Amino acid sequence: MKKVFFIIVLLFLGCQGNSDAFGKQNATEKNQKKLIIPLYFYDIAKWDKVANYKEKEIVILNPSNGPGDEVDENYQKLIEKLNKNGDKPIGYVYTKWGGRNIEEVKRDIDKWIKFYPGVKGFFIDEASESESELDYYKTLYLYIKSKGDFYVVLNPGVYPYKGYFDISDNIVVFEDDFNKLTGDVCTENPAKSSIIVYDANKTQMENILKYKCKNFYVTDDTLPNPYDTLPSYFDEEIKLLK
């Protein structure tokens, strides 16, 4: 009887351990999904709302279609708060789908680092999805990485030529209104894919967050500027990705 009891206890403990491990694995998988928030508005109260969450989000900062020409102390303070919280503040830089002079783009990168040394990466907007522009973005990626361990997000807004996944840390594979979203667009490379969806109601947001993407931003804000405020359901969106 003692031997039988001992075996049962071992089996119970073994199952319990596996259950804990499974729970931790599920929690880890769930926590891999994060928000990528375009903070394209100047509202310190709403900035603080984002910074006060403890969810370690990616936050895109855009003082003046890029870093601007002078330091803004409020952005410095925001970056400090985001870093203190463990978030990843990244600076906005546009590239005109590979048509902007790459030396100008590099100067924007350098300005970001000089003005706001707390930034952790860069959001490369208006990125091309075409194979023909791959060398442009490879040069830019290597330039950024030569400056430090910065996180690089490309935003073509559509699924790009596959080689782009080798020269980025993350890619926005969809940026558009909800009506143009057709199924889970992150299935091919979910670990490095983000989507940004606007003009989506709360129920639609909840369904989108079930996709396999790494990062999300879903808002009910609409054109002409769907990023001039936070979503009305921002609190609920944060909670769903906890």
> CA angle, corner 150, sides to 75 and 161, nearest 5?
115
- Average the pLDDT over each of 5-14, 36-45, 77-86, 221-230 and give the range with the smallest value: 5-14
Q: Are 87 and 56 in contact (CB under 8 A)?
A: yes
The radius of gyration computed from the CA coordinates of the chain, to the nearest angstrom, equals 21
78 has a pLDDT exceeding 70: yes
What is the token pair recorded at 187?
């299935």
pLDDT at 32: 77
pTM of the model: 0.87
Residue 17: band (very low, low, confident or very high) from pLDDT cuts 50, 70, 90: very low
d(CA 161, CA 159): 7
- Residue the block writes with tokens 């840390």: 169
In residues, how long is the chain?
242
- pLDDT per position as a tens digit, 186-199: 999 999 999 999 99
24 has a pLDDT exceeding 50: no
What percent of the chain is modeled with pLDDT above 70?
A: 87
pLDDT at 72: 98
- Average the pLDDT over each of 5-9, 26-30, 34-38, 143-147 and give the range with the smallest value: 5-9
d(CA 125, CA 96): 8
Say which residue, 79 or 19, is predicted with more confidence.
79
d(CA 222, CA 58): 21
φ/ψ region of 123 (left if φ > 0, alpha if ψ in -120 to 50, else beta) reads: beta
Residue type, 35: L
- pLDDT per position as a tens digit, 114-138: 999 999 999 999 999 999 999 999 9
Domain 32-240: CATH superfamily, name plus number: Glycosidases (3.20.20.80)
d(CA 146, CA 164): 18
What is the distance between the terminal CA atoms of the chain, rounded to a whole angstrom? Answer: 46
- pLDDT per position as a tens digit, 141-167: 999 999 999 999 999 999 999 999 999
Q: Which residues pair with 94 in a beta bridge?
A: 125
d(CA 209, CA 241): 8
